[in-house]
Structure 1
Amino acid sequence: MPANESSNRPVILTGDRPTGPLHLGHYVGSLRNRVTLQATHSQYVLIADAQALTDNAADPDRIRRNVLEVALDYLAVGIDPSLSTICVQSALPALAELTLLYLNFVTVARLERNPTIKDEIQARGFGRDIPAGFLCYPAAQAADITAFKATIIPVGEDQAPIIEQTNELVRRLNRQTGRDLLPVAEALIPAIGRLPSVDGKAKMSKSQGNAVPLSADDVEIAAAVQRMYTDPDHLRASDPGRVEGNVVFTYLDAFDPDLQAVADLKAQYRQGGLGDVALKHRLTGILQALLAPIRERRAELARDPDFVRDVLRTGTANGRALTEATKHEVMEGLGLFRL
């Protein structure tokens, strides 16, 4: 029986582009929530390899290589294939077919106005040379969400406009078919947003090379923390320091379980009398303790790639059955000819 079958639980769709191994930003932003939510929700986790091609078409082998890497990260952090269904996007043809259908119900102008797409186009420096697949990402995302009939989508705040546009398409299709063919979805935005990079200049990103991967060893973790941006005017431990914009405190807020201790450290840092070395030492220990079991579990799973492939095959087969059923419902609702 599929992990999510015969359940009246709310349906979650989440996932990642396989452009590289996952990192601490993914962990705090989504992975640890997925581990918790899989016990109370029907959760589908999509490895979005087709979507990753929208800005990686020149190097498709990079995407192929990282599908297993991302799956290893999922399993290592505790995503349980008996509770969550892990699917590979490119092996679900209904998603591409629904995308093509949905593109008939949205204009180019509306796609270009989507704030998420506008920001990403600018960040990537596409100018007017925008890959068509990238521009059409909101329609493809709508296909992903609706194919699984997901009602809860964990996303960062910057991705919320994608969910809004998905719901626009859903409402239009429901009006056109005269029934509640597809459910609207709600964005679930984590309390802690995206982690900054260690240098504090941008968000933590695989593509920018400023991330701490989940597979990092103790030496790599210590080196990353050592490079973290603090307060450039905090030259001596006795000097008052700024907490705001201090990357070490941002990470302590995200990962230190002792909230009162962090609050006390902030007060001491602002007053003066707490050095950056002591702060970084504390954070290093916390991150090393967090990642050690994940790293060990990942290494163990990597020695059995057939098991990981079986997880993907089983999850994708279950996802294919569900998404094909939704596609046929949409086609029937739109009155399309079927042989």
Structure 2
Amino acid sequence: MTQDSPTLSLAEIAAHLGARLQGDGERRVRGLATLRDAGPEQVSFLANRAYLKDLPGTRAAAVLLHPSHAGECPCDCLTLDNPYLGYAELSRLFDPLAGRETVGVHPSAVVGEGVTLGEGVAIGPQAVVEAGVVLGDHVVIGPGCVVGADTWIGAGTRLHANVTVYHGVVVGERGILHSGCVIGADGFGFAHDGGGWHKIAQLGGVVLGDDVEVGSCSSIDRGALGDTVIGNDVKIDSQVQIAHNVQVGDHSALAGCVGIAGSTRVGRHCMLGGGVGLSGHLTICDGVQVTGMSLVTNSIHQPGVYSSGTGAMDNAQWRRNAVRFKQLDEIARRLSRLEKAGRGG
């Protein structure tokens, strides 16, 4: 927050969020902060009961919270049934990047032949937009980005600095691609002749739906024949690897360091925790949640929460358990023989 930050009145915020205001609607604020850190010109929020202990001592101008906690708030409050969703909406009002890009093509950018630019497009310094690209209205291409030939990028999408989008990729509207991500690189396809590897040309593309966000240094590979397809409103964290011909359904979310092997299909409304790995050629149905650091080697056909792996423990205990794990098969066989003997007796 700076002294030049835009200010909003609590009444304006309440109207934007559809929240009920209890307090002074004329009070003006210029930013957001946590309950502990907020000052008298900032709004805070309470969306997790774990932070209820910080509410009595907050110095915020107002707090966004559930109506059930309004009576405990020591300052003005904005009540919503879903305060976390309200916080998400409010954060965008104070986004310092909003509206700061300069419309037009920077003199150092390189724009190829036959490029179509919509209204209000911004192309930053040292960016390269190759021939035949179509950029929709209000697309932002950040400094140092490369957009390959014949790619189509929908209206309102932003590429932060140093994003690489290969040729023949489709990016939907209102997308956000963070620095260092690569969309449309070759999938990992090779044929082995017994002595060496022979590259398989990757002839497909990548299609990203609308409202997709891809984190920094994540990779989405192009298809070998058909396209790799990421559905609408999919959220992909940083350092995620999505291999060729993967399909991810609408509204799914992938946390950091997820890896999905080729031709796997992930359904709608799925959530993959940090470090999850999916083997290739699997089908994950709609509504599946896989907890962090799990390895999935078989298809999942029923919605629910799935886990694998073991939590951290004392090393000596882990070593003993690892030995016992190797003995499980023999223990199971011995138990089966004892059960059969008992039934026979």
Q: Which has the higher contact order (CA 8 A, sep 6+)?
A: 1
Question: Under a length normalisation based on structure 1, what TM-score does the superposition of the two structures give?
Answer: 0.24
Question: Under a length normalisation based on structure 2, what TM-score does the superposition of the two structures give?
Answer: 0.23
